Amino acid sequence: MVFSHGWPLNADAWDGQAHLVASHGFRAIAHDRRGHGRSTQTWDGNHMDQYADDLAELMEQLDLNDAILVGHSTGGGEVARYLGRHGTSRVAKAVLLGAVPPLMLKTDANPEGTPIEAFDGIRAGVAADRSQFYKDLSLAFYGFNRDGAEVSEGKRDEFWLQGMQVGLKAALDCVAAFSETDFTEDLGKIDIPVFVAHGDDDQIVPIADSARKTIELLPNGTLKVYPGAPHGLVGAYEQAFNQDLLAFLQG
């Protein structure tokens, strides 16, 4: 099991799932993307092709085979680009959770996408006061801004802490990477089973322009929609996903 995390987080975001699958006999591997967490804060290479190449280097260095790749949000893009760019010879299955493919940005060819102004706003917020921006973003990320939501201040603190570990250059560059990269061709090349999981109240990566399009492009995909679920794994959503993840791995 190889886990790829979302922006602006790091491998620790997968601790619950890594412990879960390891407890069921799988080897769990989660890496910090370049510029994130404990990885070196490189100036260059903060784009999807390099993210995919970094993942390939990890896979080759550890000589992983029959691996199951799991990517959340930006990490879902990383997984898709890896499979499209490096093939599936080392991979048996993949999971795309709240993932950004096929394309987040609104373009003439993708009119349902999110306008560039929204991503410019993210960059401006990170550049001006990233600490407050990450704290505020945690509300929508976990759906804590919805009426009746059970807010975990600890979860918000965890999100903030991981966000603050991202180098500023990497954080800013990654916004373009997750929003402007078109994964359409990558998805069409993936010839292994793919489990696509997405909350229908995802405020960060809206399901209509991501999972519902992705499933139409995958040769061998299964879509599971979680009613009322947000972008980040939390509470009942996390519990339900964990059960489905195990079922997919063991199936």
Q: Which one is catalytic: 5, 36, 72, 231?
A: 231
CB 96 within 8 A of CB 195: yes
Q: Which one is catalytic: 32, 173, 186, 202?
A: 202
How far is Cα 129 from Cα 239, in angstroms, rounded to an integer? 33
Count Cβ atoms within 10 A of the Cβ of residue 64 and give its class: 0-12 exposed, 13-18 middle, 19 or more buried.
middle
Whether 231 is catalytic? yes
How far is Cα 216 from Cα 153, in angstroms, rounded to an integer? 37
Whether 191 is catalytic? no
Instruction: State yes or no: cis peptide before 102, omega within 30 of 0.
Output: yes
Q: Which one is catalytic: 4, 39, 73, 210?
A: 73
Triad 39, 40, 41: Cα angle to 5°:
110
Whether 202 is catalytic? yes
CB 130 within 8 A of CB 164: yes
Q: Are strands 91-97 and 221-226 parallel, antiparallel or unpaired?
A: unpaired
How far is Cα 234 from Cα 200, in angstroms, rounded to an integer? 14
CB 98 within 8 A of CB 242: no
The one-letter code for the residue type at 93 is K
How far is Cα 235 from Cα 251, in angstroms, rounded to an integer? 25
Which stretches of the chain are assigned E, i.e. beta strand?
A: 2-4, 29-30, 67-72, 91-97, 194-199, 221-226
User: Active-site residue numbers?
Assistant: 73, 202, 231
